[in-house]
Each structure stands twice: as structure tokens, then as C-alpha cells.
Amino acid sequence: MSYSIKGNEAYKALRSFREYASSLYHERYRFPYLCGSYFAYRKIDVMRVVAVAKSISSQPRYLDVGCGYGDFLQKVREFIPNAIGIENDNIFYNFNMIKPDYIYFQDASLNIDDEFDVIFVGWMDPGIDFRKNVADKTEVVITTLDEGISLAAEYEDQGFQKIAEWRTPSWEDMNIELMNKYYTRISKNVYRQLSDLRGAHNLWYVYSRNPQNFQRIRASLRDCSRQELSVSSNYNFESIMDDCGFGYLEQLSGVGRKIKLNKLWEVTFT
């Protein structure tokens, strides 16, 4: 075995979880770095990101910065085959994974090679800020941030305008619900009370600084929203989000909240 101590410990924990996990799909929310992603997503999120990219170009140059092992990027590549990612962690060595040739080892804080039609940044770790380098290499940024955990990844101060946004659960929101529901001994009553307090802290923001793109992006997302109501194609793991009370267009309860949240996955335009 060649993987590092870090990877070894993580795999040990994953193997142990697999022995008692009540679903094959829970691990992607418990071990997002190893087998999932930090933002919980549905196929409609992939289709929205793809639609925004294709509204800019029929063959968009697409980059995912900090793509991890590429869970989300793989899905995007089904529709944009030349999409690539960069990652500065030794994730492939640490976890003994084969590095796909479309993921490059590069530190976005130092440089991003080339220009892209769209750059996707799914989470910026606290203490890291490579927004300027991203802004220098694209006119369209799609980013996700986890309220209160990741760095606020806004791009207004880089000269961009936010065009659209929507809210989904983060891996932690999912993890908490799964732990409460399946892996903690609490009464149904307490579980229900806790579940009423559940939050969805992952925000998706779409930015551009070129006014010519604003209408195209809005139109592409409006088309997506219309199609989502009738097309039900999805990924197997989405059933876990439904099970945890994070349904498509679900309205989370106002208990314990000062402001009313938009429905989950509801696109709002700014």
C-alpha cells in the first residue's frame, strides 16, 4: 500500500463506517473528500452549471478550481467533455487513487494557466483566497459557499455582478440529518424536533462581469427551471436528500430562523 498515513486513517474510518452503514449512499455525505463532495447536489445542479457554460459558448472552456478528486467534475464532463480541474492537494497520492488526466496538480493561489469561459469554484477553504486569479482568467464564475464555514466567496469586489443564486444542503447538513436519523439513539419525538431545525447552508452564486452575458445566463437558468418541473432524471444518491427532508423546492421550516429562506433549489435572479 502506498497511500499516506492521512489516507490510511481516513480509509480505516470509511471501512469501519461501511460495516454498519444502512445505505450505500450515506458515505458520500459522511466522507465528502473521499467519496462525495462538500456541496450536496442533484443532477439539476449539474444541468444548470452546464447550461450556463453553454450559454456562453457551444463548446465552453470549463475549469473546476479545487475540484478534489473530481466527483462533480466527472458529472459535468458527461456534457462538456473537455472540462478540466485543478487541485493542489496530494489527494490522489494520499488516497491511493488514479489521477484522471483531466485533473492537473496546480496551486490556484499562484497561477491559473489559460483563460476559460466559465470557472467553477466549489468551496474555498478558510484562509485561502484565490479569487483574483480566478477573476483574471474568466468572465463567468460559478461558486458555492457554505454559510459560516467556507470563506465567503463573493466576486463583487472583483468587478463581477451576481446574476442568480440558489440554495442546497451542504455535506454537513446532510451528515447531521443522517446521523440523527440512522446512527444516534434518540426518540422519534426528539428526532422530529431536531429535524424541524435542519438548515441548508450551501449557496450557489453565478457571476459575470460582461453585461452581454447577463441575459443569456438568466435565460439558460429559466429554461432549466422550466424543464426541471417535467423531467425527472436524477442520480441514485438523490433519494438520500429526499429522505433527509431536502426535497426539490422544499420549504424549510421557519423555526429558529429570523429570515424566511427561499425554497431549496429555487433560482432567484438579482
Which residues in 7-46 contact ligand SAM (CB under 6 A)? Answer: 32, 37-39
Nearer residue to ligand SAM within complex by CB, 34 or 218 = 34
Q: How far is the CB of 242 from ligand SAM (least distance, A)?
A: 21
What are the grid coordinates assigned to 254, written together? 421557519
Cβ 258 to ligand SAM shortest distance, Å: 27
Residue 88 as a binder of ligand SAM (CB under 6 A): the answer is: yes
Minimum Å gap between C-beta 179 and ligand SAM is 19
Q: List, in sequence order, every residue forming a beta bridge with 104; answer none if it has no partner.
A: 86
Q: Which residue is nearest to ligand SAM (CB)?
A: 66
Distance CA 104, CA 139 (A): 22
Nearer to ligand SAM, 203 or 218 (CB): 203
**Cα gap 182→198, rounded to integer Å:** 15
Per CB under 6 A, 66 contacts ligand SAM? yes
Q: How many CA atoms lie within 13 A of 133 on its CB side?
A: 17
Q: Which is nearer to ligand SAM, 170 or 220 (CB)?
A: 170
Q: And the C-alpha cell for 126?
A: 478558510
Part in contact with ligand SAM (CB under 6 A); list of ranges 16-24, 59-67, 192-200, 216-224: 59-67
Interacting span for ligand SAM (CB under 6 A) from 2-10, 17-25, 61-69, 226-234: 61-69
Strand order across the 268-269 sheet: 103-105, 84-87, 62-65, 118-122, 140-146, 202-208, 161-168, 268-269
Vertex 201: Cα angle to 195 and 207 (nearest 5)? 155
Q: Does 109 bind ligand SAM (CB under 6 A)?
A: yes
